[in-house]
């Protein structure tokens, strides 16, 4: 989980995470899900969106810049997932003083 938080802006490979944890992929996936109640990819998305929200609220960066900084290649995908997670578009949080 710490590796995902530290590298949330990078693509993750389950095989690499499993190797870091000294587990097989299936064992890693099972243990990760038991602890977090989500898959590693879902956890990475949650971390990315939380980091994006922090960046938007603190100001000084536009939505596309923040989306790219947290690892999204598509601003529209980022906006859809942000709205789904937080119930409002990212632009609304970017407007907070």
Predicted model pTM = 0.87
Share of the chain above pLDDT 90, in %: 85
Which architecture characterizes domain 2-94 according to CATH? Orthogonal Bundle (1.10)
User: pLDDT tens-digit profile of 75-85?
Assistant: 999 999 999 99
State how far the Cα of 92 lies from the Cα of 18, in Å rounded to an integer.
38
Domain ranges across the chain = 2-94
- Asked if pLDDT for residue 96 goes beyond 70, the answer is no
**Cα dihedral: 35, 41, 46, 47 (round 10):** 90
Paired tokens of 62: 């536009």
């Amino acid at each position: 989980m710490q590796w995902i938080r530290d590298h949330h802006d990078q693509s993750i490979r389950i095989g690499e995470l499993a190797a870091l944890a000294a587990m097989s992929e299936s064992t890693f996936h099972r243990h990760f899900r038991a602890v977090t109640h989500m898959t590693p990819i879902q956890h990475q998305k949650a971390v990315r969106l939380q980091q994006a929200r922090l960046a938007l609220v603190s100001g000084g960066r536009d939505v596309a810049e923040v989306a790219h900084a947290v690892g999204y290649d598509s601003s529209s995908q980022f906006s859809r997932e942000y709205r789904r997670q937080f119930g409002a578009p990212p632009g609304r949080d970017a407007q907070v003083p």
